[in-house]
């Protein structure tokens, strides 16, 4: 599903009946002074929702109007362009393999998965789907060869395609559990799908009567389903992002994108691989579209949304705001480098993992 890009108005105008004000009656931890976003706007003022951090040096981003961005020098210079023949597409997710090779997938019809192997100089269409109503949400890889892409339901089933050769060829994957009426995935950040080696996969949903987590430990050949406590019961409500630290510990974030300041039922955590979920006791400051785990001496999680960014050092149980800058998505590289993207071509780099580590050690 494609949430509308909105600029958060004054918070006081958005507190609705039954919507909890974040952090009321709770003492918030003091955010780290050194933990901040370094914001740049290297390209056109389009909405960016795809981001892939390869290392502290290499990052890719993608978004509306067929746009892609790539830096191989930690954001000092950028290659910026539009994928030829795809200028009308909105590339909501990507998977970056290295400084030269990346795959982009668009949300909406016609559907395309495109690949570059020369740093964005040239592009090849690797998958196309012309069906009416096709809408891909997320793309993820277990390794350099095995990957999965999922989309909103068509003909009563979630769309799922798989690759075993690094995205060069795609075919129909095993069927996911039957969706509830109105249930789909959100393409707000390309993170409604996440995987973990060797074969674990989780899919987060919204739009239906319950916000659910679909999970598999055998690369999608069989599935289990669990309800989550996140906001549900409407087309704009549900889980928008899911991430796991390992096969057991994970976090989900979301809420209602039409009420971005509402912090009621916007984050939850699991310690049993997603079989059960518990709401955060001190939630993020509102609707959040993306969450990611950052390696550090203590478990560190970052959540972002249109009204700001939050950090958790206890696996998602409590959150502390550290920035009011809005983003749609973020990505963490294996070396801990963290990048975020948002509206109007906004790209940002989080201060180095060293600062996060120092904060964790003081807390």
Q: What is the pLDDT of residues 268-327, one digit of tens each?
A: 999 999 999 999 999 999 999 999 999 876 779 999 999 999 999 999 999 999 999 999
On whether residue 30 sits in a domain, the answer given is no
On whether residue 10 sits in a domain, the answer given is no
pLDDT above 50: residue 16: no
Strand segments (E) across 184-319: 193-196, 200-204, 212-216, 224-227, 237-244, 250-256, 267-270, 278-279, 290-294, 300-305, 308-312
Closest C-alpha among 187, 191, 210 to residue 202: 191
From CA 243, how far away is CA 196, in angstroms rounded?
A: 10
On whether residue 2 sits in a domain, the answer given is no
On whether residue 70 sits in a domain, the answer given is no
Mean pLDDT of 146-151: 98
Q: Which two tokens stand for residue 332?
A: 């963490």
Q: How many structural domains compose the chain? A: 1
* Alpha carbons within 13 A on the beta-carbon side of 250: 29
Given pLDDT bands bounded at 50, 70 and 90, which one contains residue 30?
Answer: low
pLDDT of residue 297: 67
Contact of 284 with 184, CB cutoff 8 Å: no
On whether residue 125 sits in a domain, the answer given is no
Given pLDDT bands bounded at 50, 70 and 90, which one contains residue 129?
Answer: very high
Environment class of 123 (CB within 10 Å of its CB; exposed 0-12, middle 13-18, buried 19+): buried
Instruction: Note the residue count of the chain.
Output: 363
Q: Which of 45-59, 186-200, 256-270, 348-362 has the lowest mean pLDDT?
A: 348-362
To which H or E segment does residue 318 belong? none
Given pLDDT bands bounded at 50, 70 and 90, which one contains residue 44?
Answer: confident
Q: Determine the structural domain holding residue 177 and report its residue range.
A: 133-362
pLDDT of residue 32: 54
Q: Rounded to whole angstroms, what are the CA distances from 70 to 76, 114, 121, 166, 260? A: 11, 15, 11, 20, 29
Contact of 347 with 45, CB cutoff 8 Å: no
What is the share, in percent, of the chain residues with pLDDT greater than 70? Answer: 87
pLDDT of residue 65: 98
Averaged pLDDT of the chain:
89
Q: Which two tokens stand for residue 6?
A: 């909105």
Apex 325 CA angle, 321 and 331, nearest 5: 85
pLDDT of residue 19: 47
CATH code for position 323 = 2.120.10.10
On whether residue 204 sits in a domain, the answer given is yes
pLDDT of residue 1: 66
pLDDT above 70: residue 185: yes
On whether residue 331 sits in a domain, the answer given is yes
Taking the CA atoms of residue 161, residue 62, residue 313 and residue 289 in that order, the dihedral angle to the nearest 10 degrees is: -70
pTM exceeds 0.85: yes
On whether residue 189 sits in a domain, the answer given is yes
């Amino acid at each position: 599903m494609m949430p509308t890009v909105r600029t958060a108005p004054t918070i006081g105008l958005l507190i609705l009946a039954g919507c909890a004000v974040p952090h009321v009656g709770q003492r918030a931890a003091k955010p780290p002074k050194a933990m901040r976003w370094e914001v740049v706007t290297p390209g056109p003022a389009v909405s960016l929702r795809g981001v892939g951090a390869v290392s502290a040096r290499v990052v890719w981003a993608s978004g509306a109007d067929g746009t892609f961005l790539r830096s191989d020098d930690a954001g000092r210079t950028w290659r910026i362009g539009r994928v030829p023949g795809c200028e009308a597409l909105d590339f909501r997710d990507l998977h970056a393999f290295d400084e030269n090779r990346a795959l982009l997938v668009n949300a909406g019809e016609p559907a395309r998965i495109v690949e570059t192997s020369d740093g964005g100089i040239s592009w090849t269409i690797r998958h196309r789907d012309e069906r009416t109503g096709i809408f891909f949400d997320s793309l993820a890889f277990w390794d350099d060869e095995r990957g999965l892409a999922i989309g909103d339901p068509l003909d009563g089933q979630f769309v799922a395609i798989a690759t075993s050769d690094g995205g060069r060829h795609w075919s129909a994957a095993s069927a996911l559990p039957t969706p509830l009426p109105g249930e789909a995935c959100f393409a707000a950040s390309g993170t409604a799908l996440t995987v973990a080696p060797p074969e674990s996969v989780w899919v987060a949903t919204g739009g239906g009567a319950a916000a659910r987590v679909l999970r598999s430990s055998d690369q999608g050949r069989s599935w289990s389903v669990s309800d989550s406590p996140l906001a549900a019961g409407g087309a704009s409500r549900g889980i928008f992002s899911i991430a796991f630290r390992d096969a057991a510990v994970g976090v989900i974030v979301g809420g209602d994108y039409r009420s971005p300041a509402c912090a009621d039922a916007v984050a939850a955590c699991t310690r049993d691989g997603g079989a059960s979920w518990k709401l955060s006791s001190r939630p993020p400051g509102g609707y959040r579209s993306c969450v990611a785990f950052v390696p550090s001496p203590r478990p560190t999680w970052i959540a972002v949304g249109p009204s700001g960014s939050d950090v958790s050092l206890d696996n998602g149980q409590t959150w502390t705001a550290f920035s009011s800058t809005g983003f749609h998505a973020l990505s963490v590289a294996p070396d801990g480098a963290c990048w975020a993207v948002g509206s109007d071509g906004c790209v940002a780099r989080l201060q180095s993992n060293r600062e996060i580590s120092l904060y964790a050690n003081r807390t």
